Amino acid sequence: MGKILIIPSIDIQNGKTVRVVQGIPEVGSLDYGNDPVEMAMIWRAENAKCIHVVDFDSSHEHSKSNFGLIKNICDSVIIPVELGGGIRSFEDASEAFELGVARVVIGSMAFENPREFIKILDEFSPNKVVAAIDVVNEEVVTRGRQQRTHLKAIQYAEFLKSCGAKRIVVTDVSTNGMLTGPNIELSKNIADAAETKVTHSGGIGGFKDLIKLQHEASEYIDSVIIGRALYENKFPCQKIWRVAESGIFS
């Protein structure tokens, strides 16, 4: 398999960069830069090939208060920006693309309104629309990780594939921001069952975890979103970026 693409995450709440622990955002601490635009430019300078942005205000309150910031991020870096959080309709997706994002990440809406999700996939193409699965104890959770669905992650992944999804972001919420190691098995099981490309998210605490993911991941897992470990310099050298053999935006 090709080398795994590293995607730094910028989580935004109230216009500031926050860290997220088990799905709960906490306002800046531990030397986090408060300015998301500046943070994006730092990751670009560090040679990141893509940035993952999560808008928590949109996710929880369907607020557009961070849209100006997100547009500034897209305008400030020449690399693709993917956006998740609060995309609940075709109109929301269209508006996100108007901000300049290269790709949208859709979670709750794909579960609650699959027809709308399919409409977005058909209009913008599966290369620009990613499904997200947030998991707690093998069960899919939605609505900012607050609502249980009583649906197994693997079953849901197979459903998303049937809708036309070609890529899934898989997050084990219990490991997210904990720096305790990734749940590689979960991502592998979902990737293999649905036979879709998977971006792993959650649990990467340092270089050893990254190497473990590289060695153990199935051929479908080609990228990983990393947040807290990057911000807290948990790597011996921050020049860890890798490019997957086939560009994931092509």
Token pair in block for residue 85: 């959080």
Which residues are catalytic, by number?
Answer: 11, 134
Please say whether the beta carbons of 234 and 205 come within 8 A. yes
In the prediction, which pLDDT does 237 show?
56
Q: What is the pLDDT of residues 208-250, one digit of tens each?
A: 898 899 898 888 999 999 988 888 877 765 555 544 444 555 4
Q: Which CATH superfamily is domain 5-231 in?
A: Aldolase class I (3.20.20.70)
- Closest-CA residue to 178 (of 236, 240, 232): 232
Q: What is the pLDDT of residues 167-192, one digit of tens each?
A: 999 998 887 666 678 999 999 999 99
Q: Collect all residues with Cβ–Cβ distance below 8 Å to 213 and sequence separation of at least 6.
A: 4, 182, 184, 200, 204, 221, 224
Question: What does each of the 250 residues of the chain score in pLDDT, given as a tens digit?
Answer: 568 899 999 999 889 888 766 666 654 444 456 799 999 998 998 889 999 999 989 988 889 999 999 999 999 999 999 999 999 999 999 999 999 999 999 999 999 999 999 999 999 999 999 999 999 888 888 776 667 778 899 999 999 999 999 999 999 888 766 667 899 999 999 999 999 999 999 889 888 898 899 898 888 999 999 988 888 877 765 555 544 444 555 4
In the prediction, which pLDDT does 17 show?
86
In the prediction, which pLDDT does 134 show?
92
Domain regions of the chain by residue span: 5-231
Tokens 């693409």 correspond to: 5
Q: Which ranges of the chain does DSSP label H, i.e. alpha helix? A: 36-45, 56-61, 67-76, 90-99, 108-112, 114-124, 153-163, 184-194, 207-216, 228-231
Please say whether the beta carbons of 169 and 131 come within 8 A. yes
Three-state secondary-structure class, residue 84: strand
Tokens 């993917």 correspond to: 82
Tokens 């300049």 correspond to: 100
Please say whether the beta carbons of 55 and 12 come within 8 A. yes
In angstroms, rounded to a whole number, what is the distance separating the alpha carbons of residues 221 and 197? 6
In the prediction, which pLDDT does 31 show?
45
In the prediction, which pLDDT does 161 show?
96
